[in-house]
Amino acid sequence: MQNKNYSSEILDDRKPLSHSASILEKARTLSGSVKGELYLQVVCDERKIPVRNALISIDNIGITAVCDQDGKVFINNLLPGRYSVDVICAGYVARSVWVNIEESALSKLQIKMTSNI
């Protein structure tokens, strides 16, 4: 499996997310593309501590998730392509970043949030 590392940190604890059944069924019925995965962590830019409960949204495919206590989220069954990942959390400036998902690949991403307090 090809590994794309968008962060200098290695992220180990992956937790699967719950997706609505309709989104997963649509993905499964599309072309025979082998799905990719996204593993991301949200941290505070100044202190490098995890940002818990940050809302992650991939609007163009209708997926949303909330980071766990370690600021981590794992999203699987993504069709290959380029996605805009939006992150919002109380006390931080909202961020949008682009990520490329490749077939059969795990993409790792660390998003650094800036405090607005």
Residue 86: give its domain's CATH number.
Answer: 2.60.40.10
Reading the block at residue 54, the tokens are: 């940050």
Count Cβ atoms below 10 Å from residue 117 Cβ, excluding itself.
Answer: 5
Distance CA 110, CA 113 (A): 10
Spatial distance between the Cα atoms of 58 and 84, rounded to a whole number of angstroms: 6
Run of H or E residues at 81: strand 81-88
Each residue's pLDDT tens digit, 15-37: 444 444 444 445 444 555 689 99
Task: Count the domains in the chain.
Answer: 1
Amino acid letter at 57? Answer: S
Q: pTM of the predicted model, to two decimals? A: 0.68
Residue 60 pLDDT: 81
**CB 76 within 8 Å of CB 19:** no
Task: Residue 84: give the domain boundaries.
Answer: 3-113
Alpha-carbon distance 2 to 108, whole Å?
11
Q: What is the pLDDT of residue 46?
A: 81
More confident position, 18 or 58: 58
Residues in the chain: 117
